[in-house]
Amino acid sequence: MNRLLKTQLKKVYGKTFDVESSSDEFKQFLGLINQAYDDFYIERQVLDNTLEVSSKELTLNIRKTMQSHELLKSVTDSIDDAIFYKDLDLNYIGCNLHFTDFAGKSVQDIIGKNDYDLFDAEEAKHFQGIDNTILHNGTSQAFKEWVSNKEGEKIYLSTVKSPLKDSKGNIIGIVGIARDLTREYQMKKDLETKQLLLIQQGRQASMGEMIGNIAHQWRQPLNALALLVQKIGIYHKRGVLDEEKISTTIDKSMGLINTMSSTIDDFREFFNPNKEKELFSIRDAIEKAQAIVDSAFVSHMIDYALEMPEEIEIEGYKNEFSQVLVNLLNNAKDILIQKGVCPAYIKIYVKKEKGHLHIQVCDNGGGIPDPVIGKIFDPYFTTKPEGKGTGIGLYMSKMIIEDHMKGKLSVLNTDDGACFTIKI
């Protein structure tokens, strides 16, 4: 008999049984009891082993879950953006440290609360309105907005909110991430202010050249007007000043005066910035720019040519575009004069290619030195002698083309000189 069985029988009955002297029937009965006890013992051992394994697995799983939670918390807390989660009732169920900084409350004071508990009523209503839309549509939303921080200061946030889903794809809440763009926004506004100031400085710097161009364009009609006045005196002395000569002289004089007045109007329009985009002809814009610098070209014997196989119209700011062309033409003119190039020429090529407009302004002034060609669009950088250039014109031109008209302004050297390309 199994020793354990004997021990258990002695515990129950207080004595040891002599199984050998017992009847066969009793031996059989004891054999069944022994087998049952052996089976129970084995099952107990198996159960104990199973429980031990299950306990270890459970402990391991709990440890892994805690490690995953700690890892997630560590990751989210290390992100500079504010991260938060809400349940279907729009109560907060989690957030990272940056969100606690934004809300001005601890994690414990945030969990279980809603927006009305954390923010003012107007902002809370706005936040929950967006959340309800996301829960209803099941789609993410990205937006930028001004909100109040814990100090009551307005900050500019870029926020993305999405439905929070379980493993089966069911929506169980909202998850959001918000980035503070206040500093970037302010830097952008400061940059825009500086750019506007540079544009104004560029216009003022250009006005000196424009006045010189006006003087060139006025010199001839002023001389002609002076001759007409002198003719009147001569006719009067000779006694031949009749009504016909007076009428003819007046007509010619008024024609010259109107031409001079038109010149002033052209320059005044040039310095009046467009406030709205308009559809304009590229040829008109180029001819307008060329007319402003034409007298200087003639005076310095600079040949000018325009190659434009087709009429092209674009949408943008016509006066600003013309100003860019004037800057490029003036720069080319100055380098040709400075180097004493003869014969000197400036050519403008216009074409459409693969849905883009290409305008090239090229000269035969020998090109831009390699050490400085990468700097010529920098503000206040100039290759002209001291007092002859402000270093604003090309920077302003690039800003107009790239920021205002969403194009690109670049330069490269050719065999003859520099070639500026506008691509829109």
In tens, the pLDDT along 247-276 reads: 888 888 887 787 677 666 655 655 555 567
Contact at 8 Å (CB) between 311 and 283?
yes
Tens digit of pLDDT for each residue in 335-353?
888 888 889 999 999 988 8
Helices (H), 20-143: 24-78, 97-103, 107-110, 115-118, 121-137
When comparing pLDDT for 11 and 240, which is higher?
240
Closest CA to 89 of 179, 164, 177: 164
Tens digit of pLDDT for each residue in 155-164?
888 889 999 8
Alpha carbons 194 and 328: distance in angstroms, whole number: 22
Give pLDDT, residue 97.
87
CATH of the domain at 356: 3.30.565.10
Structural domain ending residue among the three candidates 131, 150, 180: 180
Q: Token digits for 92?
A: 């907060």
Cβ atoms within 10 Å, residue 158: 16
Q: Say if residue 215 is in the same domain as residue 357.
A: yes
Contact at 8 Å (CB) between 422 and 372?
no
Examine the pLDDT at 32 and tell me if it is beyond 70.
Answer: no
Alpha carbons 345 and 336: distance in angstroms, whole number: 8
Range of lowest pLDDT (88-92, 162-166, 400-404) = 400-404
Q: Say if residue 227 is in the same domain as residue 350.
A: yes
Identity (one letter) of the amino acid at 334? Answer: D
Identity (one letter) of the amino acid at 79? Answer: I
Q: How many CA atoms lie within 13 A of 355 on its CB side?
A: 0
Q: Say if residue 229 is in the same domain as residue 261.
A: yes
Closest CA to 379 of 260, 133, 250, 205: 205
Structural domain ending residue among the three candidates 180, 197, 222: 180
Give pLDDT, residue 203.
60
Q: How many domains, the chain?
A: 3
Examine the pLDDT at 374 and tell me if it is beyond 50.
Answer: yes
Structural domain ending residue among the three candidates 145, 180, 215: 180
Q: Say if residue 235 is in the same domain as residue 346.
A: yes
Q: Say if residue 126 is in the same domain as residue 107.
A: yes
Q: Say if residue 16 is in the same domain as residue 138.
A: no
Q: Say if residue 69 is in the same domain as residue 85.
A: no
Q: Which domain holds residue 123?
A: 81-180
Closest CA to 282 of 312, 305, 323: 312
Q: Say if residue 208 is in the same domain as residue 294.
A: yes
pLDDT class of 208 with cuts at 50, 70, 90: low
User: Residue with structure tokens 């391991």?
Assistant: 60
Is the pTM of the predicted complex or chain greater than 0.85? no
When comparing pLDDT for 197 and 180, which is higher?
180
Examine the pLDDT at 70 and tell me if it is beyond 50.
Answer: yes
List phi, psi (to 5°) of 355: 80, 5
Q: Say if residue 254 is in the same domain as residue 322.
A: yes
Q: Say if residue 56 is in the same domain as residue 160.
A: no
Q: Say if residue 200 is in the same domain as residue 277.
A: yes
Contact at 8 Å (CB) between 384 and 390?
no
Q: Token digits for 118?
A: 């954390």
Q: Say if residue 176 is in the same domain as residue 301.
A: no
